[in-house]
Structure 1
Amino acid sequence: MIQSPVEFFRTLPKKVCPECGQVMQEQAESYLMECDRCLSKKVE
């Protein structure tokens, strides 16, 4: 049975920062892999 696109996106796992493991709040058109806190540490 083929899954509907709506169900597919609803069941995707939450996006997690690979550096600290914090669950990230996803935003439209964002391809960032790290959370804001980890990204700010890299800039300093």
Structure 2
Amino acid sequence: MMDLEFYRNIPKKECSQCGCEIQEQHESYLYECERCMGIHEE
């Protein structure tokens, strides 16, 4: 159970440009959100 608690307490990854939470896949190495990378217009 201790291992599970460790993973639950890992902070969410934030965009290095705007600070928004990054929705990532399990092996993602992105440091910018899709909006800052220009993938999606919002």
TM interval, short-chain normalised? 0.7 to 0.9
Q: Which structure: larger Rg? A: 1
Give the TM-score normalised by structure 2. Answer: 0.73
Instruction: Percent identity, please.
Output: 51
Q: RMSD of aligned C-alpha atoms?
A: 1.9
Instruction: Identify unmatched segments of 5+ residues in structure 1.
Output: none
Structure 2, unmatched stretches of 5+, are none
Which structure features the higher share of helix residues? 1
Aligned structure 1 segments of 4 or more residues deviating by more than 2 angstroms: none
